[in-house]
A and B are shown apart, each in its own frame.
Chain A
Amino acid sequence: MSLLPSVGQPVSRLEGQLKVTGRAQYAADYSIPGLVYGYVINSTVTKGKIQRIDTTKAMSLPGVIQIFSHVKRPSLAWFNLQYADMDAPPGSPFRPLQDNKIIYNGQPIGLVVAETFELARYAATLVEVEYEQEAFDTDLNANLSNARTPKIGMATMLKPPPPRPKGNFEKAFSESLVQVSAEYYHGTEHHNPLELFATTTVYEGAGKVTIYDKTQGTVNSQLYVANIFGLKYKNVRVIAPYVGGAFGSGLRPQYQLFLSVMAALELKRPVLVTLDRSQMFTFGHRPPTIQRTRFGADANGRVTAMNHAAIGETSRFEDYTEVVVNWSHMLYPADNTLMQYKLVELDVFSPLDMRAPGGVTGMHAIESTMDELSYQLKIDPLQLRLINYAEKDESLNRPYSSKELRACYVQGAARFGWEHRNPEPRSMRRGNKLVGYGMATGIWEANTLPARAEAIMTTDGKLHVNSAVTDIGTGTLTVMAQIAADELGLPIQDVTFSYGDSKKPFAPVQGGSFTVSTVGSAIKTAGKALRKKLLRIAGKVGDGVFKKLELDDVLFENGRIALKNDPLTSISFVDIVAANDGNPVKVIKFSVPNVLKLKKYSRAAHSAAFVEVEVDEELGVINVTRAVTAVAAGTIINPKTARSQILGGMVWGISKALREETISDHHFGKYMNQNLGEYHIPVHADIHDLDVIFVEEKDDIVNALGAKGVGEIGLIGMPPAISNAICHATGKRINHLPIHFDNLL
């Protein structure tokens, strides 16, 4: 009997036990003999120059080893390019301790290294810094007149600029029967993964370091460190098997990495630098963004004209961009479109991708506008989406590799009970509360990048797979093991997957929901190559029944290769490896997506979110009492981990719509709620009934797995579905997020 394929099974996380019993070691958990501790000193001003930095008092404390700053640091790489990581937007990357210039509030300006963390933290308070302050600006709303077109760079490859205008928007809009226009806003948000950013650098002797880093890309950190400190790539090893959440914050090397490595190289000792929670607010964030939409429709509800314009925040040193305005035309086939995207430079750190960057921002505006249009047209919001259903991607005029969004709408609506919605706002009640139903569409691109993977058949007939990829808590380890198991027809217990190590074969950063697709494809490719190699070796064994056979002629099952037409004739993997002079059989394969083929299609995961809210109108209290998200994302490799991803995204959607915000005080140019007590992410009491549906979707084009990735799609439809539900409940449309109860009073 052949084994059931592992792909498609709800396999529990293989590392789950280690995590819940505290045995999984994170970047700050390595107790290395002689370890010393670094604490970062951050600028208390927003812009200006350091005039004097006096470390005398701090240095005189016994146990303080060194205090680094711009006046006390090794010489560093000179060119911008050497600071550019794989995810760097166009511009000049931030260089810690480069000179005396202060360019944002909270900028790291020094590192105290001491025998204990507590001592380093205390010593940091004794370092005296005098600044010459300069005028600054951190307020997006006050600087909209400075909006400009973003620079183009490498990052643009994954983040295309807005599509070209089509038809004549202004004319079509002014002539359309029904017109809706609105402005949308959300402020700054910080990633706030549970695990604090930390790096432990072990000095291994001249020019050689081993680094335990919190990152979403071991190779990214490796290249960054090697380039800046002039080390050989092979002498820099970055290890990150467990990552306690990152949500994009680990896509770029953060300053604790730089500081830890610098200190270790200088002191020739192992150095751990951990940021504290407030320091987690001193690097990338989701940028505040203002959007305007103008949609026009005809009497039948067909959207004829769409204008979506967004202005996002960036720093003065990099042009961080997001794909905010490209989505509406992928979803709705209007003949006249105008999409605009601009940036305003402010005295802040560069923004950084945060879960569904741009997508969740843009779709909030688009799907709220569609909802408003449905009221104007007196057409059910779901019906309006179906009327405007795009069979192909009109923005680029190409078909979708697959698109089961219609099934998402239908199955989601059925599970939710959408038909019970009374179209009239304020018409549904439960007790003294208003009840509202809202829905929205979600879309997220399904990308694949090149990656390498190694597959090894060991002497005991087990499969070992290697990749540098991290597992940021999404279940990567588990799904990769599943994919690998199926390649060789082995049970998952016979597979080990080693990952989170830059020494292993190359993988790009883990983000954008492209990891399963990218690394999974590489593993598939390596798995196939290993099958071929095993078969070739089998051909040399014994009476040569396997000689000259192709993969199609045989089966890989139960740890053996068997003839397809005579399954009783078989040879075990153990015997094959034995025949390989007893050496494990290894292959390393590079898998590169077939760009020529992929270019002909738009590839995206879709979703439909349905939300019920209860609103206590008198007091403004809002609760999301029920939500259903139906997702079309191709093959679901592991329904359990995938469901967790969607649930996490839905919770984040509730958070984004109703809870989290970074409070800025533009007078001081800084963030005021830099802790988890005041930066409100949802608590259990905020989360009620959440339900996930995966609709069937077959995709032979997107990649060999037919899988699209589910990391972001669960979030995207939720914020607009929630604000639409609030509008249905109360008749009030609130277009800035988060919506607080004071907005409803």
Chain B
Amino acid sequence: MNNFSYIKAASVQAAIDQSTAGFNVKYIAGGTNLIDLMKYNLTRADTLVDVNRVQENKDIIEMENGGLRLSAFATNAQTAYNPLIERRYPLLSRAILAGASAQIRNMATNGGNLLQRTRCYYFYDANVPCNKREPGSGCAAIAGYNRIMAILGTSESCIAVFPSDMCIALAALEAIVNVEGPEGSRSIPFADFHRLPGDTPHLDNNIGQDEIITSIDLPAKGFSKNYSYLKLRDRNSYAFALVSVASGLDLDGDVIREARIALGGVAHKPWRVEEAEDFLRGKPANQSNFRQAAEMILKGATGYRHNEFKIELAKRAIVRNCMMALNPATQLPGAQPSV
């Protein structure tokens, strides 16, 4: 059988020790992605180190800089429904609740969410070429059925999309990912956490083999007054985004003091374009300015045979979502469009 050892780590350090000591060790949190990958025979592990029981605090910690620290080991559900998050970072709460299903969110952890793998059909089918699964074998999606694939930041090696919702909000909020490893701990700004495919599509992110995500820091600024998360997908729940947008606005009257816009479902990582956010600074919050920002965000986007539509859709979604952010009460639950 595909046997593996299973160890429950009592602390982060113990988990790291297990990982460095063993061969082909993987951390397991909620298991909602990892177990599927193992069943599909795409991932193998000789040892699974369960990080759900680490003694570190799973509560949300208020930091001195006015921000919050989320435990990587808390579940997506615990995070989304935490009153502090609901009040101060409702954008994050909305994004999490737009993802997966209630059952999965009850199992899935914040750390695992950051590391979930793409949903590219070809990645999951071991009998077709895929550079992400098997470097150098080719990319079947480029000439294949690529409706769900990326339009930004693609490469000749891979056009896959990073499927998370939560991470789109974290990107907009400029979260910081804290990791610990054999060489100590470090903090990675969200924008540097995930990678573009380039010619190394087998690497999704910049975390090291034995490193463990311990927490995620949210800066003080939560955009809790003017925010919105919009997810466009093939069914109203339990489907990954074809395009999603997280918007956070800081307004002075109807003038934008600061804007954050992150796109999901369009690239190998959450997509943000500083130029567009700079453009919005000091401008009135209206359709035409948002549209101009959208054009900047989508600059250089290229469609493939079946996903050309994403380019215009993403632009419209940005405009709509920023307009919804002006009045968050207009949002429907589950990140359905309304206004």
Residues of A within 8 A of B (CB): 44, 61, 63, 116, 118-119, 122, 125, 431-432, 616, 618-621, 623, 659, 663-665, 667-668, 670, 672-673, 677-678, 680, 682-686, 740-742, 745
Contact = CB atoms under 8 A, between A and B. Distances in A.
B1 A620 contact: no
Contacts of A44: 127
B31 interface: no
B125 interface: yes
A741 B307 CA distance: 12
B41 A125 contact: yes
Interface of B: 1-2, 41, 119, 121-122, 125, 127-128, 140, 143-145, 147, 232, 234-239, 242, 309, 312-313, 316-317, 320, 334, 336-339
B235 A672 contact: no
26 contacts: A116-B1, A119-B1, A122-B1, A618-B320, A619-B232, A619-B313, A621-B232, A663-B121, A663-B145, A664-B145, A665-B128, A665-B144, A672-B122, A673-B121, A677-B238, A680-B234, A680-B239, A683-B238, A684-B237, A685-B237, A740-B234, A741-B232, A741-B313, A742-B309, A745-B312, A745-B316
A672 B312 CA distance: 26
A620 B313 contact: yes
B313 A745 contact: yes
A682 B233 CA distance: 12
Contacts of B237: 683-686
B2 A122 contact: yes
A616 B121 contact: no
A332 to B, nearest CB: 35
Query: Which secondary structure dominates chain A's binding surface?
Result: loop
A32 B181 CA distance: 49
A678 B120 CA distance: 10
Contact of A678 (B121, B242, B320): B121
Instruction: Please indicate which of the listed interface residues B41, B127, B317, B334 has the most CB atoms of chain A within 10 Å of its own CB.
Output: B127
Contact of A745 (B119, B309, B339): B309
Query: Which secondary structure dominates chain B's binding surface?
Result: loop
A686 B144 contact: no
A667 B144 contact: yes
Contact of A618 (B119, B125, B316, B336): B316
A609 to B, nearest CB: 21
A683 B234 contact: no
A104 B315 CA distance: 42
B275 to A, nearest CB: 25
B144 to A, nearest CB: 5
A659 B234 CA distance: 7
Given A118-B1, A667-B143, A619 B337 contact: yes
Q: Which 3 A-B pairs have the closest CB atoms?
A: A685-B236, A742-B309, A672-B121
B235 A432 contact: no
Contacts of A670: 125
Given A125-B41, A745-B313, A616 B337 contact: yes
A52 to B, nearest CB: 17
Contacts of A659: 234-235
Contacts of A686: 235-237
Given A682-B235, A685-B237, A619 B317 contact: yes
B120 to A, nearest CB: 10
A336 to B, nearest CB: 40
Contacts of B339: 431-432
